[in-house]
Structure 1
Amino acid sequence: MNYATRVQRVEPSATLAVSNLAKELEAAGEDVVDLSVGEPDFDTPDHIKAAATEAMEAGETGYAPSNGIPELREAIAEKLQGDGMEYEADNVIVTPGAKQALFETFQTLVDEGDEVVLLDPAWVSYEAQAKIAGADLTRIDLRPHDFQLEPALDELADVVSDDTELLLVNSPNNPTGAVYSREAMNGVRDLAVDHDVTVIADEIYQHINYGPEHVSLSALEDMYERTVTINGFSKAYAMTGWRLGYLAAPEELIDQAGKVQSHSVSSAVNFVQHAGVTALEERGEETAEMVEAFENRRDLLLDLFDEHDVDVSHPEGAFYMMVPVDDDDKAWATNALEDAKVATVPGSAFGTPGYVRISYAASADRLEEGVERLVEADYL
């Protein structure tokens, strides 16, 4: 059997590969501290679950409009307008997860040989989705700048040109937890306008933020017409398994991306979309409580690593931390899982070898246990 070139360009998701190995060890009776998966360890709020149940009981179990039910598209547009953006309901496609929104955007905008610029460390699926679309990748290494974008703007300016098709910006960032400053975003805006480059703004961790200002690129001058904003419900509302996300963009792009949606996944699940309306319109204290817990866990990890003289960056958002390890980070992560029974993700999966990513979407007790095991096994 011959396999398509676009599939052979990419590797399986490293985060899911580590998680699968951890689950195999757990199934064999091992106690694994799994710090690999980006999934809040909180339950979906009860009022959101109740809204889904009510929608099912009301018969909202059939096909939904491909781009999303009108109520949810309106609620998303209202949310985005509250963030200073100009999107209306017709600028929104509701997708089965933010990952699908990204996939549809790449498929809509990228042709074979187009240049896509990534900021490293970059979430694992950006590279894969760009390659599936046929892109040539250019990467900017943010490691020398403590994972911040602002000090690297000159380097970014050296590579972004009139030939650049797409630039991807993710803030708060997975895997670093960095939140890019307004100055950094203004720098991106200047380059995008000067070279007429489209920017994907992945804002899925927008609400997992520990104080710094969140800047939405589409809200900046002259960026509405050249920005695709990606967001969703998985992180802020602990709805990972519900698979509900969206993209917002100028109507012409929506018309084109809607073709991809209609011929692939058709639509997001009907009753899940009704739950999404409730999540946006009846937002309670659950998100704030979750963010406070994540911030406390971040501080705990920073203290623990400081006690053991491990120099780590200071995350300002999301729930991840990049920890420096051996140059062969893949071997380090595999051995740490097998020897210490602690699951992490190799930094090379994010374009940043020499690190592993730790997710602190786990209880404080498990975080302490994980660090203790790594220390006792001489991995820290």
Structure 2
Amino acid sequence: MQETEEAKAILSDRILALAESQTIAMAKKSRELAAQGFDMINLSFGEPDFQTPQYIKDAAKQAIDDGFTFYTPVAGYPELRQEIVQKFKRDNNLDFAPENIVVSTGAKQSIANAVLCLTNPGDEVIIFSPFWVSYEEIVKLAEGIPVPIMGRLDNDYKVTAAQLEEAITSDTKLVMYSSPCNPTGAVFTEEELRAIARVLEKHPQVYIIADEIYEYINFGGKHFSLASIDSIRERVITVNGFSKGYAMTGWRVGYLAASKEIAAACDKMQSQITSGTSSISQKAAVAALKGGNASAREMTEAYRRRRDLVLHLMNDITGFKTYLPDGAFYIFPDVSYYFGKQYEGKIIKDSRDLSLFILTDAHVALVSGDAFGAPQCIRFSFAASDEKLTEALRRIRQSLEKLQ
């Protein structure tokens, strides 16, 4: 959205400097074209296309009938925090107490709480790139200085310990990354994270946000949490939630686990912004954790099949440089082959131009890579049916063949 001159005169520098989420912006453009009668396929949203499992819905209905309609503790119901403690022990070999847990209105709020509690103006925040769209903007809100480090395509876009070592300065306060990664689907191995931990051991002033929201959507080995490494445990803030693994995007429940001091600070921050998360959503989240991971495993197998389908179909598209994502539900090909090409006099200068061309010509919504710190790429979500994915890739291939 472009601010008018009148708006610029009255709005704060803070909001004027903030970029609109391109995933949301592209979804908006897709809806506008759909309203005009075009048959749109939206692969721009990072949202499971599965329904929330029925047992979770039933728990929410029961919570309403049982009268859970009042304010909740800021950090979350004690029962939910205890279930999260047990989840960390069971799945991640992490020992926390409920006082280490803060439940928020989605993992995005958990990340914002942590960044705002740790970052002073001028602090450098290293962000492994490609990165989720909101990382950089949240750092800007905290008046920190984002310092992206770009992973290489030939390493599945994963940043190395050597790159991290080179980027850390005396002004570095925080490191942020996701694994499995949005937008690349890359998953850091235990060996890779231990190498990163050895670098961080040398810099005790640096804290780390480990975003593990896609933990259950993992096509390879067992998920490894950075916080399980004793030498840096107290400096790691682990963020997770229910939106991806349990198909609960609209319920808005996320959480973080951190040292008592950082958790208490995040509780304090949240108390002045939103207070506690929805009571009904929290009761649903309790049921989700008690119900185990069977539904997540079923969804992950579907995503694995779709990943393989999309990669197969991309083999027929000239110029796409791909790799094998090990998690999440995205593929992030390098599409720079098409930069400088044109159609009907319009030149494709970058991935934003290309994604808009695909939107208007193929009627498929994607997100350009500049939103994720990688302007040579475009993000495809394969959280859609096989039929939609097949049709989307067919349309894209035909559209791209028009570019000369």
TM-score (norm 2): 0.91
The answer (yes or no) to whether the contact 1:161–1:195 under 8 Å persists in 2 is no
2:183 counterpart residue number? 175
Residues 51-90 of structure 1 deviation map (CA, whole Å, 9 limit, x = unaligned): 0000011000110011100000000011111211121111
- Is 1:307 the counterpart of 2:316? The answer is yes
- Is 1:336 the counterpart of 2:344? The answer is no
Map 1:228-267 onto structure 2 (within 5 A): 228-267=237-276
In the TM superposition, what is the alpha-carbon distance from 1:284 to its structure 2 partner? Answer: 5.2
The answer (yes or no) to whether the contact 2:370–2:376 under 8 Å persists in 1 is yes
Task: Please tell me the residue identity of whatever aligns with 1:190.
Answer: R
Task: Please tell me the residue identity of whatever aligns with 1:14.
Answer: Q
- Is 1:135 the counterpart of 2:157? The answer is no
The answer (yes or no) to whether the contact 1:146–1:313 under 8 Å persists in 2 is no
Range with bigger deviation, 279-288 or 201-210:
279-288
The one of 324, 328, 332 aligned to 1:322 = 332
2:376 counterpart residue number? 354
The one of 74, 85, 91 aligned to 2:94 = 85
Once residues 159 and 211 of structure 1 are traced to their aligned partners in structure 2, the CA distance between those partners, rounded to angstroms, is 29
Unaligned runs of 5+ in 2: 1-8, 340-349
The alignment covers a number of residue pairs equal to 379
1:98 counterpart residue number? 107
1:110 counterpart residue number? 119
In the TM superposition, what is the alpha-carbon distance from 1:148 to its structure 2 partner? Answer: 4.0
The answer (yes or no) to whether the contact 1:177–1:320 under 8 Å persists in 2 is yes
1:208 counterpart residue number? 217
Unaligned runs of 5+ in 1: none
Residues 89-127 of structure 1 deviation map (CA, whole Å, 9 limit, x = unaligned): 110000010001011111100111000001110000000
The one of 343, 361, 371 aligned to 2:393 = 371
Match of 1:324, SS state, is: coil
The answer (yes or no) to whether the contact 2:241–2:253 under 8 Å persists in 1 is yes
- Is 1:156 the counterpart of 2:171? The answer is no
Residues 282-316 of structure 1 deviation map (CA, whole Å, 9 limit, x = unaligned): 12521111000000000001111123353311100
2:342 counterpart residue number? none
- Is 1:25 the counterpart of 2:33? The answer is yes
In the TM superposition, what is the alpha-carbon distance from 1:144 to its structure 2 partner? Answer: 4.4
TM-score (norm 1): 0.97
Residues 218-276 of structure 1 deviation map (CA, whole Å, 9 limit, x = unaligned): 11122221000000000000000000000110001111111111010111001110111
Match of 2:57, SS state, is: helix
Task: Please tell me the residue identity of whatever aligns with 1:342.
Answer: V
In the TM superposition, what is the alpha-carbon distance from 1:147 to its structure 2 partner? Answer: 3.1
Task: Please tell me the residue identity of whatever aligns with 1:180.
Answer: F
In the TM superposition, what is the alpha-carbon distance from 1:213 to its structure 2 partner? Answer: 3.1
The answer (yes or no) to whether the contact 2:161–2:199 under 8 Å persists in 1 is no
Once residues 78 and 319 of structure 1 are traced to their aligned partners in structure 2, the CA distance between those partners, rounded to angstroms, is 27
Match of 1:61, SS state, is: coil
1:70 counterpart residue number? 78
Once residues 284 and 298 of structure 1 are traced to their aligned partners in structure 2, the CA distance between those partners, rounded to angstroms, is 21
The answer (yes or no) to whether the contact 1:166–1:198 under 8 Å persists in 2 is yes
Identical amino acids, percent of aligned pairs? 39
Once residues 35 and 357 of structure 1 are traced to their aligned partners in structure 2, the CA distance between those partners, rounded to angstroms, is 8
Task: Please tell me the residue identity of whatever aligns with 1:52.
Answer: A
In the TM superposition, what is the alpha-carbon distance from 1:182 to its structure 2 partner? Answer: 1.5
Once residues 116 and 257 of structure 2 are traced to their aligned partners in structure 1, the CA distance between those partners, rounded to angstroms, is 15
- Is 1:48 the counterpart of 2:39? The answer is no
Once residues 77 and 2 of structure 1 are traced to their aligned partners in structure 2, the CA distance between those partners, rounded to angstroms, is 45
Match of 1:288, SS state, is: helix
Task: Please tell me the residue identity of whatever aligns with 1:219.
Answer: S
In the TM superposition, what is the alpha-carbon distance from 1:378 to its structure 2 partner? Answer: 2.0
Task: Please tell me the residue identity of whatever aligns with 1:350.
Answer: F
- Is 1:217 the counterpart of 2:205? The answer is no
